[in-house]
Structure 1
Amino acid sequence: MDTPETQDVTGQLVEHALGHLFSAALRTAARCRVADHLAAGPRTARELAGATGADAGHLRRVLRYLATRGVFREDRAGAFHLTPTGEALRTDVPHSQHAAVLMLTDPTFQRTSAALEETVRKAGPSFERLFGEPFFTYLAGDPELREVFDSGMTSLSARVDAVVAGTYPFPEHGRIVDVGGGRGGLLLAVLRGRPGLSGVLFDQTPAISTHVLSGEEAVRGRWSAESGDFFTEVPEGGDVYVLKHVLHDWPDEGCLRVLRNCRAAMAPGARVVIVESVLPGGNAPHPGKAMDLAMAAVVNGQERTREEFAALLAAAELRLTRVLPTAAFPSVVEAVAA
């Protein structure tokens, strides 16, 4: 006979097992742009259905579920309100996470996550076995997914860029090299506040072809964009080498190649600055612990603890000097030549 305790455990396990539906509901709300339609004030599911072309009854069920997770809030009259979390789903706000949600819930990644057991049993990314080639190779041949990925990463990075630029004491003068910097959001945020600093955006051609640096008058003449492969070499003579969300894409062997290239290119007294999740020990929750599983399934990468970063840096003849937490989910790991 069930006791209240076993009923409670059963309910928890059922909710956890149906967690994939939360991702699906969040994607549905993003695709219907519900948050945009709530920007002017609360609306009922029927009103939202008229604005989005959805079925009112089914839309209400999705929004009611999302309200249990704090994405929206339903009042006694049946109208739905934006919460701070839902506000970030709007497409017209600074640091919108709309594109990030669409990327993270893309069917390509959902299918990969569903095959996590295969990753665990075979110690390799399920993505490669499902799609026949490594993620970044597949991405290069799929322009539609590439746009989803690049837009999502830009969205995910927008607030991180501003927070990191304001948290880490970048020098007022010198040269910063943003290794694997994508569209250059972090480099732009750093250069904006330091008029004596110059920078290099370094990444593969598809990533830097849509960079955001050229439209900013405040940084004119203080940056260059160079294409290349960070596994082969990186631009020489930098005072700060930044690696933001680069190392978590690779196992230790790949990371060491990148870090050793940075170590070889550094000017005397230069620093390496790594922007990544730094996983806490024990049972403490952290967004990086979920992302760690995604990295394992998609690219055979991983998030790391402070101790793992220290060991990785030491193997590349670098010494970890400090870890700075930020108001966003990643931290800043600083290293100098050992």
Structure 2
Amino acid sequence: MHQNDGRQPGNAPGNGDGDPDERYRRSNALLVDEVLGFLFAAALRAAAEVGVADHLAKGPGTPADLAAATGTDARNLYRLLRLLATRGLVAEDESGRFALTEAGQALRSDVPYSARAAILMLSDRTFWLPAGELTRCLTEGGSAFDEIFGMPFFDHFARDARTAAVFHDGMAAMSDAENAILAAGYDFPSTGTVVDIGGGHGGLLLEVLRRNPALSGVLYDRPHVLAGHRLGTAPEVEGRWSLTEGDFFEAVPPGDVHLLKRITHDWDDDQCATVLGHCRRALHPGGRVLILDAVVPRGNAPHQSKALDLLMMVSLTGRERTEEDFAELLAKSGLRLSRIIPTPTVLSVVEAVPA
């Protein structure tokens, strides 16, 4: 898939070969190749599920050896690895052995910033099944999740412990690779209290406290989420953090800085305005709200936010937002967009202050 074969569907008819239909043949071939892309995601998920990368970490292996180690069918495992090799995640040598490439290292579960849990989350049936019903979102509006699962996204999580674990572990895996960069990318106040709203296991708050030794922090989330927090694993932040249970649609703890990482994109504008309004009222004088989310750029260039936006569309009520969208949303919440700080990650820091 995505072969480097020079197909250019927008070329002039014939590309100089005298065939006026050639441009459409090329477009046809490109589009067929693109629509098969979902099979690569399926292969990547299956590889993560059986843990083949952990065995490749020991060195190159034959499909037979790898199948024995993973409890899989050797012929079918070979077919899967052959597809992953087309994207450079593994490489097959002349003897038929596969090796894990540099690009594929984060598929392992035993490395820093492993992507395995994130892959399992993003390809979980809670996203995969609604994505197959995307047309329904276009013709009927709203997400496809409720019709498939019989309830909204987060209600389903509250009733299904397996799905909740997949989600929170996957979000932590996505966040771990970003948190130190985000914490370093913003000039936090020298003293005060940082409240991480819906902060999950506390990875971002931990990095903020590590870099700012005079700050204290509050991790705010639902009780079952806070049970998995990691703040107690870092002696250097001991005594500077606390846990608060609650629902950010009802209230948020007071503080000098409110962090909302990958929160606003889950919810529609009215729901976000409720949460942000609580933040506005709970801010100490001189405080600020930091929304850490993707900001959709103008133009036609690829950007992960454009794919994530469809993920939000099919399974949740939210969306990824442009700079103008954030400005309008904040104005509804008693806040004012102060500035947007890009980071080396897909996320930006959207800074808001009281209007």
* Equivalent of residue 341 in structure 2, options 283, 308, 324: 324
* Partner deviation per Cα, 1:52-72 (whole Å, 9 max, x = no partner): 122222111111111112222
Aligned AA (2:82): R
Structure 1 vs Structure 2 CA RMSD:
1.6
Aligned AA (1:317): G
* Equivalent of residue 86 in structure 1, options 90, 104, 125: 104
- TM-score, normalised to structure 1's length? 0.95
* Partner deviation per Cα, 1:91-122 (whole Å, 9 max, x = no partner): 01111110110111112321111111111211
Q: Which runs of 5+ in 1 are unaligned?
A: none
For 2:210 and 2:183, the matched residues in 1 are separated by: 9
1:190-205 equivalences under 5 Å are: 190-205=208-223
1:96-111 equivalences under 5 Å are: 96-111=114-129
For 2:63 and 2:345, the matched residues in 1 are separated by: 32
Q: Which residue of 2 aligns with 1:112?
A: 130
Q: Which runs of 5+ in 2 are unaligned?
A: 1-18
How far does residue 74 in structure 1 lie from its aligned partner after superposition? 2.5
**2:280 counterpart of 1:275:** no
Name the larger-Rg structure.
2
For 2:94 and 2:322, the matched residues in 1 are separated by: 45
**2:258 counterpart of 1:251:** no
Aligned AA (2:234): E
Going from structure 1 to structure 2, the CA distance change for 1:292 and 1:222 (only over 3 Å counts) comes to same
Aligned AA (1:13): L
**2:207 counterpart of 1:189:** yes
Give structure 1 regions of 4+ aligned residues with deviation exceeding 3 angstroms. 1-7
Task: Report SS of the residue matched to 2:175.
Answer: helix
How far does residue 78 in structure 1 lie from its aligned partner after superposition? 2.7
* Equivalent of residue 71 in structure 1, options 74, 89, 92: 89
Going from structure 1 to structure 2, the CA distance change for 1:77 and 1:168 (only over 3 Å counts) comes to farther
For 2:81 and 2:181, the matched residues in 1 are separated by: 31
For 2:34 and 2:270, the matched residues in 1 are separated by: 35
**2:78 counterpart of 1:60:** yes
For 1:90 and 1:171, the matched residues in 2 are separated by: 37
Task: Report SS of the residue matched to 1:312.
Answer: helix
* Equivalent of residue 242 in structure 2, options 224, 228, 232: 224
For 1:309 and 1:45, the matched residues in 2 are separated by: 50
For 2:43 and 2:29, the matched residues in 1 are separated by: 20
* Equivalent of residue 310 in structure 1, options 311, 314, 327: 327
- Higher deviation after alignment, 254-263 or 79-88: 79-88
How far does residue 172 in structure 1 lie from its aligned partner after superposition? 2.7
Aligned AA (2:95): A
1:13-52 equivalences under 5 Å are: 13-52=31-70
For 2:118 and 2:39, the matched residues in 1 are separated by: 18
The answer on whether the counterparts of 2:62 and 2:98 sit within 8 Å (CA) in structure 1 is yes
For 2:243 and 2:20, the matched residues in 1 are separated by: 65
For 2:220 and 2:169, the matched residues in 1 are separated by: 18
**2:305 counterpart of 1:293:** no
Going from structure 1 to structure 2, the CA distance change for 1:2 and 1:22 (only over 3 Å counts) comes to farther
